[in-house]
Amino acid sequence: MCCGLTLLVPASRAESQTATREATQWAVPRTADGRPDFQGNWTNATLTPVERPEGRDRILTPEQIAQIEGRRQNLADSLSRPSDPDRPAPPVGGIGETGRVGGYNYFYMDPGTRVAVFNGEPRSSIIIDPPDGRFPALTPEADRLIEEEAERATQFGEFDNPENLTYSDRCIRSHGSHVPLLPNYVYNSNYTIVQTSDHLVILTEMIHDVRIIPLGERKPLPEDQHPWMGYSWGRWEGDTLVVETTNIPSSESNQQWFFPGGSDDMKVIERFTRPDEHTINYEFTVEDPTTYTGSWSGEVPFSRLDGRLYEYACHEGNYALRHILSGARAQEREDPGRHR
């Protein structure tokens, strides 16, 4: 890990070079009680996917980095051109195979502009273990539960009731507040961290979820209680903050959108360290023997965000939810057999 500033000076000033480097050496900022200070605004937005594309090595080559980041820049450049105010409406039936027109133009998306660089390594995936950078295989029990849920879902139309919509649609919780903390690849992959001697608070910009993490001696939560973001507790290992989360809602209510949701047995270990002034190194391991045939781990940097986080005023019962359901009811009146 690197933590210093390198100054180029003439060889004749070798002695002053050492003194200058020591004077400008970055030191981990600390709170009043001497612990590393993680406070501030941070973002984990990145072009690096959670799972590694097949055929790629763990470390990206300069050519691959240029291709990935160049593709994103080319898209941004194309979207900066003014749109045609006289363009026609989308065709009846929607666009493409899905028949959807989408929620936003890509102009409004902010998935990141750079690949993730962790300890100097440009990564092809956030997952580092298993070594292939991909999720472990699901267990037979997980496959069975997924089949049961798929069968249950066939009893309803997609917009029959609010319970069928995701928690994000219902503004109950966001993509970015799931444990572990992974980018949502849409927008608002941003966080505010506030820290005291006995608590760490992580505010997620997306749907303004808040994790309140006690620090110190762990006080177990009853097994039948499952808070939205699980039950987290932190402890210090030197200058590393280790957070263990259990009592995470099962797959039926967890609704992880980028990886299969866990069972009631799911446990996540997170590690936070400060390698330099502008970065938090975030590492995690997921253990869930009911869902996966093995554990899986990942790493992603959180970068200092030189900007503010604004309120994401999403709330259950918002206009979108009401309009989605009322639109579906109108379609059913026109075609009673639409969803059957």
Residues 68-86: tens digit of each pLDDT: 999 988 887 777 777 788 8
Q: Is residue 337 part of a domain?
A: no
**Higher pLDDT residue, 257 or 146?**
146
Give yes or no for a contact between 171 and 316, defined as CB atoms under 8 angstroms apart: yes
The band of 284, judged by pLDDT with boundaries at 50, 70 and 90, is very high
Based on the domain organization, do 278 and 144 belong to the same domain?
yes
Under 8 Å between Cβ of 324 and 168: no
Q: What's the mean pLDDT in 91-112?
A: 69
Tell me the backbone φ, ψ of residue 273, rounded to 5 degrees.
Answer: -135, 160
Number of folded domains that form the chain: 2
Q: What is the pLDDT of residue 251?
A: 52
Quick one: pLDDT at residue 215? 96
252 or 60: which carries more pLDDT confidence?
Answer: 60
pLDDT surpasses 60 at 176:
no
Residue 167 DSSP code: T
**Would residue 336 count as lying in a domain?**
no
Task: Identify the CA nearest to 311 among candidates 215, 239, 207.
Answer: 207
Looking at residue 163, what DSSP letter applies? Answer: G
| pTM of the predicted protein model | 0.84
- 302 sits in the region (left: phi over 0; alpha: psi -120 to 50; else beta) called beta
Q: What tokens were used for 248?
A: 């995470």
Query: Would residue 326 count as lying in a domain?
Result: no
* Residue 37 lies inside a defined structural domain of this protein: no
Among 225, 197, 231, 226, residue whose Cα is nearest residue 211: 231
The answer to the question of residue 340 being in a domain is no
- Any idea what DSSP says for residue 309? -
Name the strand (E) or helix (H) holding 21: helix 14-24
Q: Token pair of 91, please? A: 């065709």
**255: pLDDT strictly greater than 80:** no
Query: Which residue range is the domain that position 182 belongs to?
Result: 42-319
**Is position 332 within any domain?**
no
Q: Is residue 325 part of a domain?
A: no
The pLDDT of residue 6: 27
